[in-house]
């Protein structure tokens, strides 16, 4: 089973969720993407505080690159997890077999402690999801 985690830019929350899921789950795989992985035509980079707080959890995201979600990614996924419902999502997101909304606040513009809180909240939700689906 494939799970797709989606947030706005794919530089934080969805990348954390993908990494935790792939570390914890023994049978299933995850991918992640953002609805807008570019700014002014330039590709975005991983947020440095996300990298730092994930390194504290033993996960290295330094080589990860933000990706924009595509219809293909949605169709290949059994579950699409949207980090919050405040973004503009492409119409094709509704083609997902199952959509789950998590109310995880965007840590953009916050400090390291808030990023840690976000990381811990995501890890807990991912653990619950893995326990539910295997």
User: Domain residues of the chain, as ranges?
Assistant: 2-133
CATH of domain 2-133: 3.40.50.2300
pLDDT band at 1 (very low <50, low <70, confident <90, very high): confident
As a whole number, the mean pLDDT across the chain is 93
Q: What is the mean pLDDT of residues 78-107?
A: 89
For 3-33, letters b (16+ CB in 10 Å) and e give bbbbbbbbbbbbbbbbbbbbeebeebebbbb
Helix (H) or strand (E) holding 43: strand 42-43
Gap between the Cα atoms of 129 and 87, Å rounded = 22
pTM above the 0.75 mark? yes
* pLDDT digits 0-9 by tens, 34-82: 988 666 667 788 999 999 999 999 999 999 999 999 999 999 999 999 9
As a 3-state breakdown, the chain gives helix, strand, coil percent values, each rounded to 5, of 40, 20, 45
């Amino acid at each position: 089973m494939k799970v797709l985690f989606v947030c706005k830019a794919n530089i934080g929350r969805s990348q954390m969720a993908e990494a935790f899921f792939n570390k914890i789950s023994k049978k299933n795989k995850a991918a992640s993407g953002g609805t807008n992985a570019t700014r002014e035509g330039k590709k975005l980079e991983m947020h440095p505080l996300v990298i730092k707080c994930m390194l504290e959890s033993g996960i290295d995201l330094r080589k990860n690159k933000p990706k924009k979600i595509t219809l293909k990614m949605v169709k290949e996924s059994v579950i699409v997890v949207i980090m919050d419902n405040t973004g503009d999502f492409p119409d094709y997101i509704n083609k997902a077999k199952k959509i789950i909304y998590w109310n995880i606040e965007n840590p953009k513009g916050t400090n390291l402690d808030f990023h840690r809180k976000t990381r811990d909240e995501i890890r807990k939700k991912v653990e619950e999801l893995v326990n539910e689906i295997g």
